[in-house]
Amino acid sequence: MKEERGLVFLIQRYSVQDGPGLRTTIFMKGCPLRCQWCQNPESLKPYPELMSHDTKCMLLGKCVETCPVGAITIHQQQSRQIDRSICDLCFKCVDACPTRALSKVGEYMTIKEVMAEIERDELFYHRSGGGVTISGGEPLFQWQFVLRLLEACKQRHLHTALDTSGYARWAVLQKVLENVDLVLYDIKHMDSELHKKSTGKSNRLILSNLRMISPQKKVWLRFPLVPGFNDSRKNLTELGRLGREIGVEKVSILPYHKLAEEKYRQLGIRRKVSNIQPPSKKRLMEIQARIESFGLQVTIGS
């Protein structure tokens, strides 16, 4: 029988923003939401993708020679272009490129392979009170794999955290949570309509799942702060109330930044020009204070 594999797009060792202590974060690929501000566009599609790193490209032309369908061209000895409509994702160009200016994002890995990476830093987890965080994309998009991965972690007595949007059937979530110590739970907007408009889905399922989780699991709310979208006084108040009501351990504000824009280009994704600006430091402090006023512990960035 073929061993089950999960599609992982990154394993980040020495991760410190996704739960307590020094951690390893497993980023699963594939997501049901389409948040307009998504900072990890490479995490969305449930299959491996080709990324092009133009700053590393020295126009050596090895990819052009290698591509079986002729999807790559070098334009006037100045820039490399990939015709994504022809590219059939064979990734032969990735192996051929000596400067690593092309990469494949997304690897199908077995539980054993992922565990081998996790176990490398076990000593550090013990010393720092860290462990493993499963993130995404939306990890529950591949819930059967994630379930088994969490079981494997628990067999090793590792601390586990699940970083989720909460967009999943309760039955699935409930099953997965059996092996989770801490839930990092995204709240993008309290208003269902606005939520739907900018993520593609309503927040009803997300909020009802959260209320079911909170009595049984430790929860850290994560609030991706997108200026102009979810930083209204009303939304912050509702968020604060929710946090107080369900008794979350803390709220993490994850401020919008522009570092992801390059990634969209690398993936060949055209998007509407976004005029969202990262929040100022002053504004951040105000928002932090606002949420804190509900008696909550609030951190910025992690």
Partner 1 sequence: MVIAEKPKLNEDRITRKMRKGLAYQSKSGRGVGRIEASEGKVERVVEEGRMPYRPEIRLCIERARLITEGYKQAEDAPIILRRATALAHYLDNRTLYILPHQRIVGNSASKPCLLITFPEKWSGWLEKAIDGEYQMLLPDEKDRRELHEIHKYWRDKSVHGMERRLLPKDVLEYWYYDNQGVFMWLHGGHVGTPNYEKIFKTGLKGVVEEAKARLEEISSDPELYLHPADYLKKKRFYEAVIIITEAVINQGKRFSQLCRQEAAEEKDEKRKAELIEMAEICDWVPENPPRTLHEALQSFWFINLVARVLDLQTSGNGERIDQIFYPFYKKDKEEGRLTYEEAEELVEHLVLIFNEEGALIPPSQPKAGPLITRVTTIGGVTRDGADATNEMTYMFMDAKNEMGLNQPALAVRLHPQTPQALYEKILESVLKQPGVYSFFNDSMMIPFLMNLGMPLEDARDYTTDGCMRWIIPGKAMSQRALGGRIALPKCLEYALYQGVDKFSGKQVGPRTSDPLTWASVEDVMQAYEEQLRFFMHKLFTIYNLVDALDGEWLPQPFLSAVVDDCLEHGQDVREYKYYPNTIIQPVGQVTIINALAAMKKLVFEDKKVSMAELIDALKNDWEGREDLRQMFLNEPPKWGNDDDYVDLIGRDFYTRTNKVVKSFKNIWGVSHNEDGTGASTYFDYSGLTGATPDGRKDRDLFNDGTVSPAVGTDVKGPLATMKSVSKIDHAGTFTHLFNQKFTPAEVMRNDGANFIALLRTFVDLGIHHTQFNVIDRETLLAAQKHPEQYGDLVVRVAGLAAYFVDLTKAVQDQIIARTELSFG
Closer of 62 and 244 to partner 1 (Cβ): 62
User: Minimum CB separation from partner 1 for residue 293, in Å?
Assistant: 23
260 binds partner 1, rule: CB under 8 A: no
Tell me, residue by residue from 100 to 139, as one string, x for binding to partner 1 by CB under 8 A and - for no binding.
x-------------------xx-xx--xxxx---------
Contact with partner 1 (CB under 8 A) among 98, 112, 233, 234: 98
**Which residues 6+ apart lie within 8 Å of 29 measured at CB?**
7, 8, 9, 42, 43, 44, 45, 46, 47, 48, 105, 106, 136, 137
Residue 58 CA to residue 79 CA, distance in Å, equals: 9
- How many other CB atoms are there within 10 angstroms of residue 47's CB atom? 10
Q: Closest by alpha carbon to 129, among 21, 266, 238, 281?
A: 21
CA distances (Å), 235 to each of 95, 108, 184, in order? Answer: 48, 39, 19
Number of residues that bind partner 1 (CB under 8 A): 23
User: Minimum CB separation from partner 1 for residue 59, in Å?
Assistant: 11
Q: Check if the beta carbon of residue 221 is closer than 8 Å to that of residue 248.
A: yes
User: Minimum CB separation from partner 1 for residue 302, in Å?
Assistant: 8
* Binders of partner 1 in range 23-82 (CB under 8 A): 58, 60, 62
* Binders of partner 1 in range 214-243 (CB under 8 A): none
* Binders of partner 1 in range 5-24 (CB under 8 A): 12-14, 16-17, 20-22
What is the SS3 assignment for 211?
Answer: helix
What is the phi/psi pair of residue 182, to 5°? Answer: -140, 135
User: Minimum CB separation from partner 1 for residue 178, in Å?
Assistant: 28
Q: Closest by alpha carbon to 23, among 120, 91, 97, 107?
A: 120
**Which residues 6+ apart lie within 8 Å of 273 measured at CB?**
none
Instruction: Please report, as ranges, the residues that interact with partner 1 according to CB under 8 A.
Output: 12-14, 16-17, 20-22, 58, 60, 62, 98-100, 120-121, 123-124, 127-130, 302
